[in-house]
A and B are shown apart, each in its own frame.
Chain A
Amino acid sequence: MTTTIAFLGEFGDAIQFIFQGQTTQEGTEVGGSQFLDLTWEHLKLTFAAMGVACAIAIPAGLWLGHIRRGSFLAISVSNVGRAVPSLALIALFVAYLGTGFTNVTLALVLLAIPPILTNTYVAVTQVEGDTVDAARGMGMTGAEIVRKVELPLALPLIFGGVRISAVNVIATATIAPLAGINTLGDPIINVSGYGDTGRLAAAMCVAALAIFTELALGAVQRAVTPAGLKLEPDTASRRMRLRFGREATT
């Protein structure tokens, strides 16, 4: 074990830093359990931002998709969202609203909304007209159609959007220390307290967190896919991908 770590050089030091930590010259403990605190803060920020973003974007997308209106809004919001650099967004919030948990969360919410909104909208509009007609013929009201027909059929694609947003938010929460919130980005931004090893260790943790989130949400996405849609995953996913590029991947 020790020889393997030595072989890894700086990466080995960083791994050791994550699990054992070290004491700085000022006598503060960094790495080890302190990384757990940073990770927790990172996750808290991510959950808060994703929660608010989902609460706004999913109902809005369902509604716009249901009434088949606002395609321009739903699609262009994601184009604009992509063009605004996350660093600039955080900086704008810091410059205008100041630092703090709420302000960073708000900035991350703005970042997270576009993919979810666009994917939800696209997913609902892609529910076949015949299916909706059949539901209406069975006597379902508009709200029932949304809840029992359009939402279940749209779920895989909605989760595709949530997945893109979540990974994005985790990546961007790394620069939250600029706004006074000590996430896993703290060793990266305020390198003086941690040294290069701490910074590399933090980068590894952020990368692992992003990959883990991607995999976990991918599993959730497969779990929520209605059995009927799994029959022809290839054609369905290909069709969606073709029309809307990156945003609409399942």
Chain B
Amino acid sequence: MILSAIAAVVQALLLLLASPLITGLIRTAKARLQNRRGPSPLQPYRDLHKLLRKGVVEPETASAVFTAAPFVVFAATLLAGLLIPTVAASAPLSQFGGVLTLVYLLALGRFFLALAALDTGSSFGGMGSSREMTIAALAEPALMMAVFTAALGAGSTDPGRMAQVAIFEGWRFLAPSQMLAFAALFIVLLAETGRIPVDNPATHLELTMIHEAMILEYSGPWLALIEWSAWIRQMVLLTLLANLFFPFTLASGPGVMELLAAGGLYLLKILVLAGAVVLVETTNAKMRLFRVPELLAVAFVLGALALISTFLFGVR
């Protein structure tokens, strides 16, 4: 019990402290690939520091939803992060729920953000939240099906249990359906974290913006909380992708050396995935909003095929 409490605290700290670094590294790598020098990878920490010291300006039209949203979003995202295994092959809060809880905690955060954007009554907020909900409604089925494919392979919806089964089975765990599910989940990752074919994370002065349009009215520590939870969410999704489909580097015992080695490999996996995201971002142009459903249709079909081929391929 005490051990799992410590694990929860350590994992929460890991998510809180490492997620700005991942975002910073993605930004720097992207700038380098575009022949710019770019900001230092530590810039997100400085942004957080700056924002947390400032005051808050609240719009006159805002209600209590506007005030509550940053905290709800932050708490939901962090909780979702505690439901997946990061370094060790078990999730700290696994007794509270499995993958389904994770998906709906992320959805709860998104719902409150959209609500808060509507609450201020600005036209940008309304536009942003309607776009966000459109994309979310299309991305969520694909996410669910990809996650269920992995759950079917392991016979459990608890991500920690899934990782243990995979480690036990070794390379036999790699089934063709997982390849399809991985591809689907990667597209969902791009859509959910607002990456370039779907949304441009680098600008907040564009008519096509989605995430930035929703948080336009926020300032100071509240903005810091929302930005921070967006970074944590990105790290949670990267971790989900890395540890659902390639969990073999996770530590299965409580040894210190083992945990340290697994931690290093975990960061390596996340960085490889982040590198893939950077490559996609630099080689693609942003899609028109009406073409985003095409991309998500591909993710949906891949996810559906993955789920069905688990039954049909005859491997398992």
B is a partner of A:
no
